[in-house]
């Protein structure tokens, strides 16, 4: 049966969209450049072509590709099964994952809503009220639990770290929910099967389940929670398929030219509808490149208003604590005297995936520091463009007063603790790029309308972090998932 819609990318945006549309009876094909990862639920579902999460393979198991402003135009691809790609822009670096399930393997599983009023007055038919039921539904599906009362977990940011004289305790409701399957009473680590038949193992606080993924799936990932159930309803996922160009076809639909990385051949797929969900940076690379070769036209605001979510990542010596213990993030902390300067979280020490004989030393070193990460609604004054056959992007943190405020808060933590927080002062390393295909009521201001459809391009949709009209200033994935759920509802209604 021919596809009703092709979805490019299987992160939060792509997976939620695919799941909803399949549920409504549509024939959906997902193209994902990365492989299925070898986790308990994926194995239990009988998917044979799996690749391991980075554990002992060193840098090569981690780095898929390097995309720099110089060198080969398509970048240097080191390993097609690699976990993430590093994009280097002017003043900004972005890690982009490559997996079925996208960034849900690397994430710390913190679920936070966008600030009140975020969706209001962006485009006709859109507002906080429109998105609210979608937030509720995806929060439940991502199995968010409130860590406020979970004092039992090691390194609980709010309880254990607030003694440092640097932070004030958070109030009930101020902690982000965690999409984590915590151990049962008395630390029971027995596997649990959910209502969709998905098998997961609870989090073992002694084993690393952070940015290099969670083999037992104790972290909620969208491949397990959205794609596996949808496969049973007829979803087709083509892993290791990289979309290279999109264009309108003669029958009023859309064509995707892709590279089958397993088979080593080019393929073209067509469908009446197409959704680009390749993540903030790769969506723009694909769309700007396609416009350059005539596949798309117009879109004067494509690539404008890129933001970095105010991400400021500091490394802070941890005193006598072992920060490799506990969940991937220890939750939200509020810096004393700078409570409103930024949304800060603590991230656990992360041992690199080195060979076994080096593992102990690497873990002990990683456990001596903690990541203090600040997020703010920066000025989103960066941009993306196409130049000499390659994608380029730039962001200058000095344009955002919110960066200066977050830096002052980090300095206050250094002073109060007597341990220096080391953070970058001139360049941004962001896990949460935002914008460039922003929502707006017309094409001069943005790329998509309030339903996620690209202005002037019927049947073409965007559902990932690039649609944000400004950065959310908090962990953004729940908002991306809620947006995808909203876009799906509109597509189903229009069908």
What residues line the site for ligand FAD (CB under 6 A)? 8-14, 31-34, 95-99, 102-103, 106-110, 211, 242-243, 277-280, 282, 286, 329, 431-432, 464-465, 475-478, 480
User: What minimum distance in Å lies between the beta carbon of 15 and ligand FAD?
Assistant: 8
Integer angstrom CA distances of residue 222 from 42, 162, 194, 492: 11, 32, 14, 21
257 vs 411, beta carbon nearer ligand FAD: 257
202 vs 289, beta carbon nearer ligand FAD: 289
121 vs 174, beta carbon nearer ligand FAD: 174
258 vs 444, beta carbon nearer ligand FAD: 258
User: What minimum distance in Å lies between the beta carbon of 475 and ligand FAD?
Assistant: 3
User: What minimum distance in Å lies between the beta carbon of 186 and ligand FAD?
Assistant: 27
Q: Return the exposure string of 57-82: e unless at least 16 CB atoms fall within 10 Å of the residue's CB, then b.
A: beeebbbbbebeeeeeeebebebbbb
DSSP string over 264-291: TEEEEEEESEEEE-S-HHHHHHHHHHHH
For 72, what's the count of Cα atoms within 13 Å in the CB-facing half-sphere?
Answer: 8
User: What minimum distance in Å lies between the beta carbon of 416 and ligand FAD?
Assistant: 25
Calculated CA dihedral for residues 27, 32, 35, 40, nearest 10 degrees? -50
User: What minimum distance in Å lies between the beta carbon of 40 and ligand FAD?
Assistant: 20
User: What minimum distance in Å lies between the beta carbon of 121 and ligand FAD?
Assistant: 23
Cross-strand bridge partners of residue 77: 65
Cross-strand bridge partners of residue 268: 257
d(C-alpha 79, C-alpha 261), whole Å: 11
41 vs 476, beta carbon nearer ligand FAD: 476
201 vs 477, beta carbon nearer ligand FAD: 477
95 vs 367, beta carbon nearer ligand FAD: 95
User: What minimum distance in Å lies between the beta carbon of 178 and ligand FAD?
Assistant: 8
277 vs 397, beta carbon nearer ligand FAD: 277
User: What minimum distance in Å lies between the beta carbon of 342 and ligand FAD?
Assistant: 15
54 Cβ contact list (under 8 Å, min separation 6): 61, 62, 83, 212, 213, 353
Q: Is the dihedral of CA 363, 212, 345, 191 positive or negative?
A: negative
d(C-alpha 395, C-alpha 313), whole Å: 16
User: What minimum distance in Å lies between the beta carbon of 314 and ligand FAD?
Assistant: 14
How far separated are the first and last CA of the chain, in Å rounded? 17
Cross-strand bridge partners of residue 65: 77, 85
470 Cβ contact list (under 8 Å, min separation 6): 305, 307, 377, 380, 434, 435
**Angle, helices 477-494/128-141, rounded to nearest 10 degrees:** 110
331 vs 367, beta carbon nearer ligand FAD: 331
Task: Write out the E strands in 120-271.
Answer: 167-168, 177-178, 192-193, 199-200, 236-238, 241-248, 254-260, 265-271
279 vs 450, beta carbon nearer ligand FAD: 279
User: What minimum distance in Å lies between the beta carbon of 82 and ligand FAD?
Assistant: 10
187 vs 279, beta carbon nearer ligand FAD: 279
14 vs 215, beta carbon nearer ligand FAD: 14
Q: Return the exposure string of 164-202: e unless at least 16 CB atoms fall within 10 Å of the residue's CB, then b.
A: bebbeebeeeebbbbbbbbbeeeeebeeeeeeeebbbbb
d(C-alpha 419, C-alpha 284), whole Å: 40
186 phi/psi in degrees, rounded to 5:
60, 25
User: What minimum distance in Å lies between the beta carbon of 279 and ligand FAD?
Assistant: 3
Q: Is the dihedral of CA 232, 211, 288, 290 positive or negative?
A: negative
d(C-alpha 108, C-alpha 347), whole Å: 8
d(C-alpha 165, C-alpha 169), whole Å: 11
User: What minimum distance in Å lies between the beta carbon of 485 and ligand FAD?
Assistant: 12
């Amino acid at each position: 049966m021919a596809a009703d819609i092709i979805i490019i990318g299987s992160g939060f945006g792509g997976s939620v969209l695919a799941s909803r549309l399949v549920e409504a009876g549509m024939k959906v094909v997902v193209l994902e450049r990365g492989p299925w990862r070898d986790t308990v639920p994926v194995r239990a579902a009988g998917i044979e072509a799996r690749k391991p999460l980075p554990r002992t393979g060193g840098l090569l198991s981690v780095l898929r590709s390097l995309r720099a402003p110089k060198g080969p135009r398509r970048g240097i691809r080191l390993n097609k099964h690699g976990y993430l790609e590093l994009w280097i822009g002017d003043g900004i670096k972005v890690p982009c994952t490559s997996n079925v399930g996208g960034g849900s393997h690397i994430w710390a599983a913190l679920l936070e809503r966008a600030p009140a009023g975020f969706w209001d007055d962006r485009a006709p038919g859109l507002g906080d009220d429109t998105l609210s039921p979608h937030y509720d539904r995806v929060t439940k599906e991502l199995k968010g639990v409130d860590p406020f009362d979970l004092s039992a977990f090691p390194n609980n940011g709010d309880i254990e770290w607030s003694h440092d004289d640097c932070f004030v305790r958070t109030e009930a409701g101020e902690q982000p929910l965690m999409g984590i399957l915590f151990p049962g009473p008395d630390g029971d680590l027995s596997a649990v099967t959910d209502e969709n038949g998905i098998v997961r193992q609870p989090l073992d606080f002694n084993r690393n389940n952070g940015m290099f993924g969670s083999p037992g799936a104790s972290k909620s990932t969208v491949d397990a929670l959205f794609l596996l159930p949808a496969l049973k309803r007829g979803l087709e996922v083509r892993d290791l398929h990289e979309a290279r160009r999109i264009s309108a076809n003669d029958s009023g639909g859309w064509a995707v030219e892709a590279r089958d990385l397993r088979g080593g051949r080019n393929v073209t797929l067509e469908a009446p509808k197409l959704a680009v969900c390749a993540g903030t940076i790769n969506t723009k690379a694909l769309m700007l490149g396609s416009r350059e070769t005539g596949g798309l036209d117009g879109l004067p605001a494509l690539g404008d208003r890129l933001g970095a979510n105010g991400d400021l990542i500091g490394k802070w010596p941890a005193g006598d604590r072992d920060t490799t213990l506990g969940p991937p993030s220890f939750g939200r902390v509020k810096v004393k005297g700078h409570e409103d300067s930024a949304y800060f979280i603590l991230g656990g020490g992360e041992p690199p995936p080195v060979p076994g004989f080096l593992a102990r030393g690497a873990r002990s070193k990683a456990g001596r520091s903690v990541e203090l990460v600040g997020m703010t609604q920066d000025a989103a004054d960066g941009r993306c463009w196409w130049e000499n056959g390659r994608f380029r992007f730039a962001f200058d943190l000095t344009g955002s007063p919110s960066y200066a405020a977050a830096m002052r808060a980090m300095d206050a933590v250094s002073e109060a603790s007597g341990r220096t927080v080391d953070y970058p002062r001139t360049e941004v390393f962001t896990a949460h790029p935002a914008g460039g295909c922003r929502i707006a009521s017309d094409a001069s201001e943005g790329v998509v309308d309030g339903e996620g459809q690209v202005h002037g391009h019927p049947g073409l949709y965007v559902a990932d972090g690039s649609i944000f009209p400004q950065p959310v200033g908090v962990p953004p994935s729940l908002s991306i998932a809620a947006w995808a759920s909203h876009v799906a509802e509109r597509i189903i209604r229009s069908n």
